[in-house]
A and B are shown apart, each in its own frame.
Chain A
């Protein structure tokens, strides 16, 4: 076989193929999906010389252990990730994020864990050869759509690499992921459903990210946010970053694979500029909310976009 492949010796906890996700399908119940941390996704593809729509591998906490079979291949890892390159001759190199590595037949990459963050990305020059559904490879395990028949990557799978003309190497940038202390939010459409004390708690107190968090949503625990109107609304659409509060008073933030319809009141929505940092909050993290207005949120997004562009412009 002329095509190179990676054998999955260890899949990791939640390893999937992702790209920019799929649009215009909310009305049939299909969310955006796509890479959770969009900036790190874009940097990964850019480092290895790919178009921005190219499939990458996303992993959460523990990543995969992969062995290359085939010709010389460039890879890059982004995020805050601890990994090693194991050469065929048993030499071990400690991996550094945001730089390319050239792998040869028999070499392995061992992605041990993300560091104080949830998601990391592994891109390969040329991209992975996977199936697309509605213009996206993004794996949505709930609807069973996307690459790998909508399933996570499993032990023993073979990951095929698209042949690439431009096998870039020796690219690196200096980039440090910053932590977020206060998630900035806009008030939601049911903000007035909550008691004065509940609203005060929401903006002044600290919340913990619960272990019941995944690509669909992030559950928070903290002081109860009391509802004084109705703990149910007529079911309606949901969006990425929207914060629902069910009857138990604990907020849930909808993430990229969210159910498209929900019936709990919406207290707020995380601004777009903070989404990449929101998804990187690990289980047990502490977080506070800060209110901004629409004008500020739009300016912060423009700033975020400009920063991303500047980072990508450094890569040549």
Chain B
């Protein structure tokens, strides 16, 4: 199932699951990730699953590349219940002040705001991975008509809560951060909650996400309503 394992530096395994980015390959990555995590293999210090790769870092004073590679190659996989994966609904306000790149997108995509929004909100998205900044979900796939390149010059500061699209993916900026995705709105929901130490990320790999539109007033009152 892993196509190839090579070393990345002297203390990481680089597991390649294939060239493509799709749900099938990614489910395979997530399945390995969950199995390895559960087994608590001696020396492993971190696991970084992504679209089609899994990087496993280890403590070089406890194990080494060749030893760990054998363990991973021979690992007995069990199936995890994918029904446990959540379906999460995320509110977005698309007012002009939040939809920083909507005007540019209309030109880039040759599509009206109404069409872009209708298309975007009509779908459910799959979470391939989380990371870059804490809890940031990489979701996909967006419709072919919505696929645009990154901004030519990335923003130094993308506001927290921004929802961005690029290529076949969309994401949510869990913190203010530099970034180059096309911003179409902002969510009032806190996607990453550090006080919830056992499960700080609202969205996890394998989960399904759908978005719904709210107006400015709902946005402002969202966190008081609860």
Contact = CB atoms under 8 A, between A and B. Distances in A.
Asked whether A and B interact, the reply is yes
Interface of A: 23-30, 32, 133-134, 142-145, 186, 188-189, 234-239, 241-242, 259-262, 266, 269-272, 294, 297-298, 301, 305
A297 B45 contact: no
A25 B46 contact: yes
A241 B7 CA distance: 13
Given A133-B197, A142-B175, A262-B132, A239 B205 contact: no
Contacts of B49: 27, 237
B10 A235 contact: no
B65 A294 contact: yes
Interface stretch (B55-63, B106-114, B118-126): B55-63
Contacts of B132: 29, 235, 259-262
For chain B, the bracket of interface size reads 35 or more
B48 A260 contact: yes
B187 interface: no
Interface in B8-61: 8-12, 14, 21, 33, 37, 44-55, 57, 60-61
A29 B194 contact: no
Contacts of A259: 131-133
B131 A269 contact: no
A145 B55 contact: no
27 contacts: A24-B37, A24-B45, A26-B47, A27-B131, A28-B192, A28-B200, A28-B201, A29-B134, A29-B201, A145-B194, A186-B10, A234-B21, A234-B52, A235-B50, A235-B51, A236-B48, A239-B8, A242-B9, A259-B131, A259-B133, A260-B131, A260-B132, A261-B129, A266-B8, A272-B9, A272-B10, A294-B7
Contact of B48 (A26, A241, A272): A26
B98 interface: no
Contacts of A301: 10-11, 60-61
A188 B8 CA distance: 6
A177 to B, nearest CB: 21
Contacts of A260: 48, 131-132
B135 A29 contact: yes
A188 B64 CA distance: 17
B194 A186 contact: no
Given A28-B130, A142-B175, A235-B138, A261 B48 contact: yes
B134 A30 contact: yes
Contact of A305 (B44, B57, B61): B61
Contacts of A186: 7, 9-10
Nearest to A134: B197
A1 to B, nearest CB: 27
A294 B201 contact: no
A28 B135 contact: yes
* A-B CB proximity, top 10 nearest: A237-B48, A269-B9, A237-B55, A297-B10, A29-B131, A143-B134, A260-B131, A261-B131, A26-B46, A26-B48
> Could you say which of A30, A266, A301 has the most chain B C-beta atoms within 10 Å of its C-beta?
A30
B175 A144 contact: yes
B107 to A, nearest CB: 23
B108 to A, nearest CB: 18
A131 to B, nearest CB: 11
A261 B61 CA distance: 25
Nearest to A258: B132
Nearest to B54: A237
A138 to B, nearest CB: 13
Nearest to B9: A269
A32 B82 CA distance: 29
Given A23-B46, A261-B48, A145 B134 contact: yes
Contacts of B175: 142-144
> Could you say which of A28, A189, A261, A271 has the most chain B C-beta atoms within 10 Å of its C-beta?
A28
B46 A24 contact: yes
B190 interface: no
B85 interface: no
Contacts of B215: none
